[in-house]
Amino acid sequence: MKKNSIKNKFVFSTLSILIFISIFYGCSSAPYTGRNQLLLVSQGEEEKLGIQAYQEVLSKEKISKDPTINSMVNRVGNSIAAIANKPEYKWEFTVIDSSKVANAFALPGGKVAVYTGILPYTHDETGLAFVLSHEIGHAIARHGGERMSDQLLVELGQGGINMAIAKKSPVAIKAINIGYGLVTTVGIMLPFNRTQENEADHIGIILMAKAGYNPKEAPKFFERMMKGKQNKASPPEFLSTHPTDETRIQNLKELIPEAMKYYHPH
């Protein structure tokens, strides 16, 4: 009876996951790419968490006071946000003074930060426009909500497996859970993140074009990044949340004809 009870719980857990997927999968699609999305988190909750995370990050970082850099980031960022078709977002752009960090990020609700270390690679306003368009692409495609939803499904699956192996030894349970974690991380979480990165590039090159920045300049940003990283080790693509620079350059070059349809110079 106990074995049947455990089995029934596992089946119920698995069915719950499938019900979630059948109800919500395909209820939304990403802008410009049309990719079906699984969103189990409301946009309101997603934005609330994004704002909290943004405030937490900024409380720990040194905010740039450089008027020239701040003016440029806000000017370019707001010009792209204006055509992003998310009027409900309260767009905010912050420059973090950290010359050793070549990065930028966007959080749900339109909160965007740029580290000064990425500016040598953006080179000019057009290069910066691609970086900000990419980050804004993450925000309007609700990639944060997708990651939350994906993690929720992983946790549901983990619970079901623990029910099924409850009678096994602690050593066996630990080994199975480690194996499950590795499979979900390498097989689900990281590739899905790479999908989002490629999609943000796709959305970004279109947004920069619509805002009046030449999309032909987008691949050059990653070419400059490659030159800057020549002497630095990087993880293989299949174990990274980001595609390689070579992959992104090729993808962007293939997207240029599509983006040029939207391009009207300033």
The pLDDT of 31-48, averaged and rounded, is 87
**Is residue 240 domain-resident?**
yes
Number of domains in the chain: 1
pLDDT-derived band at 13, boundaries 50, 70, 90: low
Comparing 200 with 243, which gets the higher pLDDT? 200
Percent of the chain with pLDDT over 70: 71
Chain segment 131-172, per-residue pLDDT in tens: 999 999 999 999 888 887 777 666 665 555 455 545 555 655
Half-sphere exposure of 241 (CA within 13 A, CB side): 6
85 vs 93, more confident: 93
Could you give the CA distance from residue 141 to residue 134 in angstroms, rounded to a whole number? 11
The reported pTM is: 0.79
Smallest CA-to-CA distance from 248 within 212, 221, 210 is with 221
Statement: residue 200 has pLDDT above 60: yes
- 110 vs 173, residue with greater confidence: 110
* Residue 58 belongs to a domain: yes
| Between 127 and 20, the higher pLDDT residue | 127
pLDDT top residue among 189 and 231? 231
Give a yes or no: residue 235 inside a domain.
Answer: yes
- Residue 25 has what pLDDT? 47
Instruction: Output the average pLDDT for the chain.
Output: 81
Report the C-alpha gap between 166 and 180 in whole angstroms: 15
Asked if residue 246 is part of any domain, the answer here is yes
Query: Domain range for residue 31?
Result: 2-260
Residue 205 lies in a domain: yes
Let me know if residue 157 belongs to a domain.
Answer: yes
The answer as to whether 232 is a domain residue is yes
Helix (H, G, I), strand (E, B) or coil at 29: strand
Q: Is residue 76 part of a domain?
A: yes
